[in-house]
Amino acid sequence: MKNKKELNIFLENAYENFEPQIDMRQLTDNTKKMMAFFLDNDGWVKKSCLGGEDFDTISFDIVFCNNEKIHEINREYRDKDRPTDVISFAIFADSEPEERFIFDGEINLGEIIISLDKTKEQADENGHDLYDELYFLLAHGILHLAGYDHQTEETLTEMWNMQKEMTGAINV
């Protein structure tokens, strides 16, 4: 990693009865690798909320839940009355540039919430491995935390291509 930054990624599995059990250590390690890959791509960083910022550490949370919980969150915060696969709350990116807070060189990007039920459904529907689908969603969430969005077909394609590159960095 050429842009050596400390990465603090906090995972919480609020869906303890999900089968198969998720290897949280492997997820943490691979998520750090995808984030490091992102940070090594100067063009991506410049277009993100991190462009031009001076920081040493990036932190964010990842929470795994079931369809019922993500449905509740989707309804409450996005006015969408259905479960979804991933929701990102981009604290840093969604703040106005003059209001972005960097404390002691650390940026808290926010939180990614993923429904393990929906992840498994999509993996099964598309003939993917559960972890492949999970990493693709994590990459998607990371991009949202960094300020990327997909309001048009063009920006959606751009994000999907970036997700493929990020997951490729961990051989997914």
Dihedral sign from CA coordinates of 153, 115, 110, 30: negative
CA distances from 48 to 56, 89, 98 (A): 16, 15, 15
Mean pLDDT, residues 146-163 taken together:
95
Rg (CA), the chain: 16
Q: Give the percent of the chain with pLDDT over 90.
A: 91
Structural domains of the chain, ranges and CATH numbers in brackets: 6-168 (3.40.390.30)
Query: Residues 30-65: pLDDT tens digits?
Result: 999 999 999 999 999 999 999 999 999 999 999 999
pTM: 0.94
Question: How many Å apart are CA 7 and CA 72, to the nearest integer?
Answer: 30
Q: Give the percent of the chain with pLDDT over 70.
A: 98
Average pLDDT, the chain: 95
**pLDDT value for 49:** 97
Mean pLDDT, residues 1-21 taken together:
87
Question: How many Å apart are CA 138 and CA 13, to the nearest integer?
Answer: 14
